[in-house]
A and B are shown apart, each in its own frame.
Chain A
């Protein structure tokens, strides 16, 4: 399925990034293809998630999208223009539109700069606002992300992880970007804080007309936020589907295994089936054919011999598996939580209502 050109904000074509492995005078250099021939189209204004286990190349892909890394092959198109061949100066100008939120809020903020200076910096680089205007905007952004404007003069180490991530988000918003790429923006945070930051991102997305690209390994987060989800395995996209469709009926055996691995809060619904056996193969020597075949319960000779092409599977879905039609027919019973009893349901509703109220710090500053 092709997204109409006008709606396409970012697009990758056979994007590949290789990293040199061990090098030496008397040994052939080996390469790791962290991202291998990935072709994606991202729609303006959507929340697009990329999911996969550790080491599958998600973060590399995220950095390639905003050209923090240079592709080895293939190209990234932003608004129809190839950004992989731009000069350094042009890339710097492009950064106004493409911003990045890092995973670790403890190492992603310069410890020697005040919060205000950190948030002001993108404006100094990309806008011609005066000092007073910038200061005013810093205060505005801080309250937008739920922090007190007075925090501008403090240093990052004085804040908690969640607060720091808010600072990181405010900094990303400062240049007035069109796309924000979040590399696991909440995975380093406490679960309770994760929800706040996720809700914040959602609010900001609609307020600033952003396109969000989220990298995550937490399926709950993805299900909550995304419009479309791409599943990555060993540097390749194995399935891409609208959020609900993916979670309701995963087609690729790897996606199915991922879904089965979601922990649920009910002991009754759990199964003892092993979800995936073995480790992720070394990307130094990826398996032949379908990269998933050594771990796939449905693998046949065809899978080890031939690489499956990305096939359209209806409803804007894409899957890269030789046997997806056959697999789709096998009913998959995912563990379901039993319906809650009335009292519990009431309690959960109440909790949801309460948790949506803004934090007291925000309220106090207004």
Chain B
């Protein structure tokens, strides 16, 4: 066996492997649709400062609760602010709240779940009891309590939502780890002489990743709605800065007179949540090595 042939063959295949998940994602129409939606909202959120739109906080008493028109494409709200502009700026708050808080939840929840499931015994007892206690408190109540404790701001709202969503990830990860731990390949990893850290990083984590990813996309949706609730209570995005949640909550007072005020934020939340879910499902399939 010459070294030359061995070296040449892998290179080509490794490139193919790296693009494999992406290739599968591209052929999955619904995942691609979700991906496009999510990217669309991310792009407009980022581009908000450079788009030719009015100031989202500028009021116009001559155009209060006007339906969609050429001047205001999506209409105006109860104090004459342009809804399109508020929608675009609000996307920033909502997407940040959704993604950052889930990121916090995953970052804290997954390692704890991993330790709990992998080591079992007292570690598991301690982590699981705390998780149970946190899960016993309703998600939103916990988030409100934490946000109130931390003080009203978007950052604190994200932290509060992240911490409230964390126990779900602890429990999910723990359950998945318990299932994966019984597989022969984990014992095989021990037989090879790997350390606990290496076994968790290379054997356990990659095999519990898929359900965590799916849960994360679902939680992004929940977190966006939670941010809306906190904003309504004055614990999230501070007025006059817009967020979809606070817009929706104001709009419910004018359902009869100005239904468009509720349509747009509602539709946007619906679309983003749908997008994240489709994308999550697609990613799960694409990352699964068993499906070709």
Question: Which residues in A have some Cβ–Cβ distance to B below 8 Å?
Answer: 66, 68, 91-96, 99-100, 102-104, 107-114, 116, 121-122, 125-126, 132, 135-136, 139-140, 143, 149-150, 152-155, 157, 168, 171, 175, 366
Contacts and interface: CB of A to CB of B under 8 A. Distances in A.
B183 interface: yes
B185 interface: yes
Nearest to B17: A153
19 contacts: A68-B191, A91-B193, A94-B193, A95-B193, A99-B191, A110-B185, A110-B202, A110-B203, A111-B207, A111-B290, A112-B207, A121-B192, A122-B193, A132-B7, A140-B1, A150-B10, A152-B10, A153-B14, A366-B1
B256 interface: no
A125 B16 CA distance: 27
Given A102-B184, A140-B1, A157-B290, A110 B189 contact: yes
B121 interface: no
B190 interface: yes
Contacts of A132: 3, 7
Given A139-B1, A153-B13, A109 B185 contact: yes
Interface string B47-76: 000000000000000000000000000000
B17 A125 contact: no
Contacts of B17: 114, 153
A289 B207 CA distance: 48
Given A108-B185, A110-B207, A112-B206, A153 B192 contact: no
A108 B192 CA distance: 12
B193 A104 contact: no
Interface of B: 1, 3, 5-7, 9-10, 13-14, 16-17, 183-185, 187-195, 202-203, 206-207, 289-290
B185 to A, nearest CB: 5
Q: Is the interface of B mostly helix, strand, loop or mixed?
A: helix
Contacts of B192: 95, 99, 121-122, 125, 171, 175
B184 A135 contact: no
Nearest to B195: A92
Nearest to A154: B13
A139 B13 CA distance: 14
Given A139-B1, A140-B1, A157 B289 contact: yes
A155 B289 contact: yes
A157 B185 CA distance: 13
Interface centre among B10, B185, B194, B202 (most CB of A within 10 A): B185
A25 to B, nearest CB: 15
A298 to B, nearest CB: 40
A68 B189 CA distance: 10
Nearest to A168: B188
B6 A112 contact: no
Contacts of B5: 149
B10 A153 contact: yes
A135 B7 contact: yes
Given A95-B193, A157-B290, A136 B183 contact: no
B10 A95 contact: no
Interface centre among B3, B192, B195, B203 (most CB of A within 10 A): B192
B191 A109 contact: no
A139 B290 CA distance: 24
B1 A143 contact: yes
Given A125-B192, A149-B1, 17 more contacts: A66-B191, A93-B193, A95-B191, A95-B193, A99-B191, A108-B184, A109-B185, A112-B206, A116-B10, A125-B193, A132-B7, A135-B10, A136-B1, A152-B13, A153-B14, A171-B188, A171-B192
A92 B199 CA distance: 13
A149 B9 contact: yes
B91 to A, nearest CB: 35
Contacts of B290: 111, 157
Given A102-B184, A112-B207, A68 B1 contact: no
